[in-house]
Amino acid sequence: MAKKDGKLAEVEKAFLVKRFACFDSPTQAVAALAAEFGVSVTRQSAERYDPTSKAGANLAPHLRAIYDAERKRFLEGIDEIAISHVAVRLRRLDRMATSAEERGNFVLAASLIEQAAKERGGSFTNRRELTGKDGDAMQYREVSTKTYEETMAELYALLGRPPPEPATL
């Protein structure tokens, strides 16, 4: 139901501010407000409670403080989100692959198994570890800046014989 006077209660305003702090879109925030409080507002009016939008640029200081605190809590609490953990993702992929195989959808099952293998192997991370042969430390060597002629002269000196005469055309 729409608000008769067009004004939201403080708890409803704070609810919208918190939703925007958690990166909800205006559409998602409006839907959540309707589900939680039974209040219907337009996306445009809800945007007044998003300080990152033009409409919310003049958000009341107490609501801005709520936004800042909720955004900080949200960003620091990423470990609270179940799907951020590899074990949770693998478990869900396992259930989906089993279900797909039971339904005879072998293409989907194979795709999910491949995704699980990549997940387990760390393909979906930004972390890369570079190692040398057999996992040892990387070996670094200095690259020579000598000319070909200098290198050949050193080689023949090591062999104990003089370099051949340059060919003439």
Q: What pLDDT is attached to residue 12?
A: 96
Two structure tokens written together for 138: 């990387």
29: in domain: yes
The domain in which residue 109 lies consists of 83-121
Q: What Cα–Cα distance (Å) separates residue 55 from each residue in 15, 30, 60, 165, 166?
A: 17, 15, 12, 83, 80
65 and 14 belong to one structural domain: yes
pLDDT digits (tens, 9 = 90+) for 126-168: 666 677 777 788 777 777 678 888 888 888 888 888 877 776 6
Number of domains comprising the chain? 2
92 and 62 belong to one structural domain: no
**DSSP-assigned states of every residue in 79-136:** GGSGGGSHHHHHHHHHHHHHHHHHTT-HHHHHHHHHHHHHHHHTTTSS------GGGP
pLDDT digits (tens, 9 = 90+) for 76-122: 988 888 888 889 999 999 999 999 999 999 999 999 999 998 888 76
What are the backbone dihedrals phi and psi of residue 26, each rounded to the nearest 5 degrees, phi first?
Answer: -55, -40
Q: What pLDDT is attached to residue 43?
A: 94
**pTM to 2 decimal places:** 0.56
142: in domain: no
Q: What pLDDT is attached to residue 4?
A: 39
Give the closest residue to 50 by CA, choosing from 75, 24, 80: 24
114 and 93 belong to one structural domain: yes
pLDDT digits (tens, 9 = 90+) for 6-62: 689 999 999 999 999 999 999 999 999 999 999 999 999 999 999 999 999 999 999
What are the backbone dihedrals phi and psi of residue 40, each rounded to the nearest 5 degrees, phi first?
Answer: -110, 125
112 and 90 belong to one structural domain: yes
Give the closest residue to 6 by CA, choosing from 40, 47, 32, 50: 40
Q: What pLDDT is attached to residue 122?
A: 64
108: in domain: yes
Helix (H), strand (E) at residue 149:
helix 148-159
69 and 42 belong to one structural domain: yes
